[in-house]
Amino acid sequence: MGFAMYNSEPFQGLKGWIQVGGTSAGVPQWAGLAAIVNSMRLAAGKYPMTGMNAALYSAAKKGNNYHDVTTGTNGTCGVLCTATTGYDYVTGLGSPQANNLINALVKAP
């Protein structure tokens, strides 16, 4: 299941309302979160984050910054394709709880 997106230019034979998901949906959302974080950091007199991986994983250890996705599969390859408690290969850290995660990243050094 994905979400609706309107594409005014043909792409791979598709135009108009289409369903997208996966990295096609996730990457722009993460870019938006990063832009919000950096604009808030600049407003607070801090440097913008450039490499966020360490801060994202650190934020996973504190507070309520992610929703842990614990069920579901992404194929038939066993444990590598099955969501579980904590970090897993299907959902990584989980889905961001943007209101909490943004504040944690703004406060990060």
pTM: 0.76
For 2-23, the pLDDT digits (tens) are 788 888 888 888 889 988 777 7
Per-residue pLDDT at 108: 93
CA distance 1 to 22: 9
Nearest CA to 30 among 109, 93, 77?
A: 93
Residue 65 exposure: Cα atoms within 13 Å on the Cβ side = 18
For 58-101, the pLDDT digits (tens) are 999 988 999 999 998 887 888 888 999 999 988 889 999 999 99
Are the C-beta atoms of 16 and 6 separated by less than 8 Å? yes
CA distance 6 to 72: 28
CA distance 55 to 39: 16
Confidence of residue 1 (pLDDT cuts 50, 70, 90): low
For 35-56, the pLDDT digits (tens) are 999 999 999 999 999 989 999 9
